[in-house]
Chains A and B, each alone.
Chain A
Amino acid sequence: MQLVYTAEQQAFRAEVRAWMEAHVPKEPLVTLECREGYDQHVEWERTLASGNWGMVTWPEAYGGRGLDLIQWLIFEEEYFRAGGPNRANQNGIFLLGPTIMEFGTEEQKARFLTPMAKGEVIWAQAWSEPGAGSDMAAIQSKAVRNGDHYVITGQKTWSSRAAFADWGFGIFRTDPDSTRHKGLTFILFDLNSPGITRRPIRQLHGDTGFAELFFDEVRVPVENCLAGEGQGWNVAMATAGFERGLMLRSPGRFQATAKRLVELYRQHADHAAPSAREAVVQAWGAAQAYAYNTYAVAAKIMAGGKIGAEASLNKIFWSELDRSMHRTAMQLLGAAAELKRFDDGRINQWLEGYIFSLSGPVYAGSNEVQRNITAERLLGLPRVGAG
């Protein structure tokens, strides 16, 4: 256990900090969940790429810097320190990217990773269906093999950023006689393919965060299939592991929120409830705990280990932490919590953040499902009657 940074790591931090201070937009961007904001965020992805910061852990050949996970964490810390915008391409770089790295052919890596790191192609995840949410094995959308193409028919939903994104990655039933986890295949597709209709869905906050996708005999070349026909479930579980276990929510995000919460508390200290004060102190502690745990996971992976079912603990922890920090902020704001903009014109980011935090325990596998996984796979409780 060595909890100090090397000189090289410190120098790297200084380099990231200098670049971020020079480039992170001074004013917060418009929300990613609408056209204008989406375009601003894509623009930012390209700015990041111009500094070669798209995805630092990837090999240089794929638009990365070939850095290790500790350097990635340092990068993320500095990113959130500087108030870096949400990543328009998070589903690409944090979920699909590592999956392609693990399961993709050399040809697929060369074709998909570099444009992803450079922010040239923005990706949407298309797993959920109206009848397959938590129970993803109930997927019905079909991909029928026809020569060197699959023909996709069906419907996906809740696909974040799919209203505006360029490409999607989904799981489709390629074996018509299969049920549940078998016969599923992981396929990458151009969202502008003929036969795809996107229907934007208005979210709680009023903007278009996600979309429904309708597939009407959409032709996709077979080389867009990842890891072979019928392997979809295994590949998806690996993706979900990256999502829950490490990449999707790096600790810097929550440490930055905790720090802002401390500042908010100071402004409202004179009328804050003692319980809010404790919640603020606990927020710092929980964000730190999450960071330590992430450093431990990173060290484990760097030593050749894998992320297992403990990714579920992670997902429960960060999503409930995020919600409780924003709830505390809403309490501190009191009457002003309801305002979309404060009287000085600033956007009420705590309100936006609180609304978004309510989705954390739902997306990336609901927390009930994560608790099932924890109980069954980590604690060894029986599955019968699990529902």
Chain B
Amino acid sequence: MDFRFSDDQLTLATSVRDYLSGTHGPEVLRHLDEAGPRDPAIWQGLVDMGLTGLLVPEAHGGLGMGLIEAALIAAECGRACLAEPLVDTAFVGVPWLLSQGQTDGLADVVAGTRKLAPAHAINPWVADGDGDALVSVDPLRKLTVRVERSRDTAAQGVSTSLDANGAGDDYLLNLGALMSAAQLVGLADAMLHQAVEYAKLRTQFGQPIGAFQGIKHQLASCSVAIEFAKPVVWRAAAALQDGLASAAAHVSHAKLAASDAAMLTAETAIQVHGAMGYTYEVDLHFWMKRSWALCGAWGDRAFHLKRIDDAVLGGSLPIGPEHTFA
């Protein structure tokens, strides 16, 4: 029993964080939002770090790591508000394909030439980085209606696949929900950070607004929500990785806790920014909108609450002090 990341896992996460903060700052988000051309070097950098093959077995040219590492990196993708389909491709699509025994084409995924846009019955649309059938509040999230996906849309020479196949599969749903939860804690961390930095800089009544308790306490409450959502996400990743029968309940718990923390932090961050937070100019809105989108994707609040309810009140999940890791 050791509820800690290994040094290797932490080093990996730090290197991803450093890479993204160096190459994928808010200016990239602004540029893409203004319909500027995508810089292929960013994706290539992720590929070069081996991240597209993170979960691909070594025999197929990947790193052969597990969902715990993937969740840790998904949180970094959330922190950076990453506008590349790394999570869907490598942390949702790949493990699902592996679970289906589908290993053809994994080499292309590892090489970064094949991106995956997983479709599932829980999601009425697919975020494939390409579609324009529906417009998301998140300007960097391109959506295609799921039924339309049956006619294959090849994006910029990169095949996006997986749709239709994943229909109602629970494992795929759990992967999508878990990785959304992981991104949400990263997004929440980033929003809290932006609000804290703003609160240190902005002065009113002759002092930084961050010196007012009304501001401090709101931000502290976000910190509580985020720090107590994180271990739930890691625990869910371990449960899904280990194939526990209870994994679905733990994934739903993670999605719920992470969504609630992100929603609270988004609202608080706006409030702390005052009218600045209500502008398009302050980058906060990218993180906030991604959070809103991910809160509803891969099962909304009601869906996940119901799954936990079924397990806890329904009695299928053993509860009580002696069942911490049931």
Contacts and interface: CB of A to CB of B under 8 A. Distances in A.
A292 B3 contact: yes
Interface string B210-227: 111101110111011001
A376 to B, nearest CB: 7
A387 B216 CA distance: 12
B75 to A, nearest CB: 14
A80 B325 CA distance: 16
A329 B302 CA distance: 22
A313 B227 contact: yes
B175 interface: no
Given A286-B228, A289-B229, A368-B217, A255 B320 contact: yes
Contact of A78 (B305, B313, B321): B321
A341 to B, nearest CB: 26
Interface centre among B9, B210, B313, B320 (most CB of A within 10 A): B320
- In this complex, the interface size class of chain A, counting residues with CB under 8 Å from chain B, is 35 or more
A259 B319 contact: yes
A129 interface: no
Interface string A361-387: 000000010111011101111111111
Contact of B321 (A76, A310, A368): A76
Interface stretch (A103-111, A220-228, A276-284): A276-284
Contacts of B322: 13, 17, 77-78, 81
B151 interface: no
B312 A262 contact: yes
Contacts of B308: 281, 284-285
Interface in A304-326: 310, 313, 316-317
Contacts of B319: 255, 258-259, 262, 284
Contacts of A278: 305
A13 B6 CA distance: 26
A2 B215 CA distance: 38
Contacts of B321: 76-78, 80-81, 251-253, 255-256, 259
B90 to A, nearest CB: 20
Contacts of A285: 232, 253, 256-257, 308
B229 A382 contact: no
B309 A374 contact: no
A275 B219 CA distance: 26
A3 interface: yes
Nearest to B302: A278
A41 B238 CA distance: 40
Interface string B288-317: 000000000000000001001100110000
B125 interface: no
B1 interface: yes
A313 B215 CA distance: 17
B221 A371 contact: yes
A342 interface: no
Contacts of A291: 324
Nearest to A68: B1
Contacts of B199: 381
A300 interface: yes
Interface string B83-119: 0000000000000000000000000000000000000
Contacts of B5: 1
Nearest to A312: B220
B320 A2 contact: no
Given A252-B321, A286-B228, A295-B1, 12 more contacts: A1-B5, A3-B242, A5-B1, A278-B305, A316-B221, A371-B216, A374-B223, A381-B216, A382-B200, A385-B207, A386-B216, A387-B213
Interface of A: 1-6, 9, 13, 17, 70, 76-78, 80-81, 251-253, 255-256, 258-259, 262, 265-266, 277-278, 280-281, 284-286, 288-293, 295-296, 298-300, 303, 310, 313, 316-317, 368, 370-372, 374-376, 378-387
11 contacts: A81-B321, A81-B322, A288-B232, A289-B257, A293-B231, A296-B3, A316-B220, A375-B216, A375-B217, A381-B196, A381-B219
The 9 closest A-B CB pairs, nearest first, are A375-B216, A252-B321, A292-B231, A374-B220, A371-B220, A381-B210, A295-B3, A77-B321, A385-B211
